[in-house]
Structure 1
Amino acid sequence: MAKKPDSFFKQAGALPYRWDGERVEIVLITSRSSGNWIFPKGVIDPGETPESTAVKETVEEAGVIGELTGDALGAYEQKKWGGVAKVKVFPLLVTELLDDWDECEIRERQLLPIKEAKELIHDRLTEILAAFEEQVLSGAIQPAG
C-alpha cells in the first residue's frame, strides 16, 4: 500500500464526556479495524481546524453532539498507513447522544466512569484521560450550573 500524504498524519479527536450528577462519564467507541476502545478522531481535512475536526469526527464516529470545553488535553502517536499519525485530543462536553449516526452499524459506543474507561483503553490514551481527570479534580472542568 502506498504511503498516505503528509496531511493524513495530522489528526484530531475528542474525549467526549458528560456529567451524571457529580460523576463524570466518558464516551468510548470501538476502532473499526481492531475493535479496541478509543476516542473518536480523524484526519484534519484542508480548511478545517483541529477543533472543528474533533467536533465533526465525534458526531460521525460516536453519534455525539457536543461542545469543546478547553484546549487540547494532549496528543498521542499512532502507527498508521505506513507512517505515524499525531492525534491532538480535546475535551468535549456531550449535549446530545444520537440513536442513529453515520457509523452506528460499524462501531460500538459506551459511556463509562473514568475508572472503568481507564481499564479499557490502550496506554497511549491513558495519558490523555489522566490529563482530563486532573482537570476534573482541580475544578477546571466541572458540571454546568
Structure 2
Amino acid sequence: MTLLSRLASDMQLMFRRPPRQQYAALCYRMKKKGTEVEVLLMTSRDTGRWVIPKGWPMNGKCSYEVAAREAYEEAGVRGSVEHETLGAYSYPKVLKDGLKVSCKVQVYALEVSELAKNFKEKGERTIEWVSCDEACKRVREPELRDLFLQFKRRIDEHLQASRAKQIPAE
C-alpha cells in the first residue's frame, strides 16, 4: 500500500467515526437586581477561543455531574446543575497527538452560587461574566450561539412569569 493510499484510507476512517462525547456546563448567575442573566465564558488553554467548561465522560458519574465537576475544575464555580440537557453542539477538537476529531457536547445549565478562590486550572484561562448576547458574539460554534439564545429566551420568559405573579390584579 502506497503512502498516499494509506493516508486516504486513514482519512476515510477518521470521517466515519462517530463524534466523541463531551459534557459541558452553561454557567449562569443573575445580576444583583435580578433582572438580567450573566453567563460564564472562559478561554480554551490551547487556542484561546471563548468556550464553556466541558470535559470527557467519567466512570461512575452522570453526564450532568461531569458538567458540574468540569465547571469547578476549569472555572472555580459551583452551584445547582440541571439534570436535563439544554441541548448540544458540535466542534472539531485537536487532540494532543495532532489528530482532529469531531466532538458532540451535551450542555447542562448550572446556576452558580459559589466562586472558589483556588481551583485546579486557576490562572490557565481568562474567565469573564458576560450577557448572553455578548457570549453569542464571542463563541465560534453556531450551535453554541443558538444554545445561548435559547437559554436567554427561557430566562426572560421565567422572569416575565415571575413579575406577572407579583403584580396584583385589579
Q: TM-score, normalised by structure 1?
A: 0.85
Shift of 1:70: 5.4
1:24 aligns with 2:43: no
| Letter aligned with residue 69 of structure 2 | K
Contact 1:74–1:131 (8 Å) recurs in 2: no
Task: Show structure 2 runs of 5+ residues with no match.
Answer: 1-13, 163-170
Structure-2 change in CA distance of 1:43 and 1:139 (3 Å): same
The correspondence of residues 36-55 of structure 1 with structure 2, limited to 5 A, is 36-55=49-68
User: Which one has a bigger Cα radius of gyration?
Assistant: 2
Which range moved further: 66-75 or 102-111?
66-75
What is the aligned length? 139
Between 1 and 2, higher relative CO (CA 8 Å, sep ≥ 6) is seen in 1
Runs ≥4 residues deviating over 6 A: 140-143
- The answer to which structure has the higher strand fraction is 1
Q: 1:22-52: per-residue Cα shift (whole Å, max 9, x none)? A: 1111111111111011110000112221111
CA-based RMSD of the aligned residues comes to: 2.4
Q: Which residue of the partner structure matches residue 102 of structure 1?
A: 120
| 1:59 match | 72
Alignment of 1:130 with 2:141, yes or no, is: no
Normalised to the residue count of structure 2, the TM-score between the two structures is 0.74
Please report how far the alpha carbon of residue 142 of structure 1 lies from its aligned counterpart in structure 2 after TM superposition. Answer: 8.6
Query: SS state of the match for residue 139, structure 1?
Result: helix
Higher helix share: 2
- SS of 1:54's equivalent in the other structure is helix
Q: Identify which range, 38-47 or 112-121, moves more after superposition.
A: 112-121
Structure 2 contact 81–110 (Cα < 8 Å) conserved: yes
Equivalents in 2 of 1:76, 1:139: separation in Å? Answer: 24
CA distance in 2, matches of 1:55, 1:119: 24
Q: Indicate how the Cα distance of structure 1 residues 33 and 18 shifts in structure 2: closer, same or farther if over 3 A, else same.
A: same
Map of 1:75-114 to 2, 5 A cutoff? 75-80=88-93, 81=95, 82-114=100-132
